[in-house]
Amino acid sequence: MDPLTISFDRIAHREFLEHVDGFVCDSKTILDAWDIYSDEHTDLDGWPHDDHAYGLRKSQRDADTAEAFENIRSGARHLLATADAQLRSLPADAVQNRWGYQLGVLYSALDRLDALHEQWLRTRDGLPGGAGPGTAVFDDALAEHHAESWSYLDDWATHAQALGDIDSAARQTSSPLAPPPTAVPATGRITSVRR
């Protein structure tokens, strides 16, 4: 679908952007907690004191980040298409050079996340009967999926703020996807037009 022909619901778009802000904030909290844990549970060379406990905690980081992303997964393509269309409609002096690069990173990461999600669904469907959440075979497969997804989720946590930045720039200029505010005439003032 051509991003310029996407249907645009300003309220839904704002809600998606708020979810992105929430994901970025949650991801930062998750990563900060991980960094503290990692610093406290590794030696000076970065080797874990307890490999098993360290691996479990890392797996929790991955799962928590994946869960936080679920709030924006359904709107991610719309957000990217809208930001791409907005970026193309902005005047050159309103564009940050990094935005094009960041959108490219987000598109690539989302493509990989979608492919990994499809792979996870096939893996889950191929598990032996009775292998559901709480069983070792299921939990191990899910942990592996989260581990494979984590770097792409981190790309979203790192670069997704560009979506809001582009939207803000579009609202400050005349973009077809973010119309400028309408001017309200001052009350009690009459203007005439000379012809």
Query: How do the pLDDT tens digits run along the chain, 195 residues long?
Result: 344 334 457 788 889 999 999 999 999 999 999 999 999 999 988 899 999 999 999 999 999 999 999 999 999 999 999 999 999 999 998 999 999 999 999 999 999 999 999 999 999 999 998 899 999 999 999 999 999 999 999 999 999 999 999 999 998 886 455 544 444 444 443 333 333
Pick the CATH number of 8-172 from 2.60.98, 1.25.40, 1.20.120, 1.10.3470: 1.20.120
Q: Would the CA dihedral through 56, 59, 64, 65 be positive or negative?
A: positive
User: Alpha-carbon distance 179 to 35, whole Å?
Assistant: 42
- Domain segments of the chain: what residues? 8-172
pLDDT for the residue numbered 187: 41
With CA atoms as reference, report the closest residue to 60 among 39, 81, 84, 37.
Answer: 37
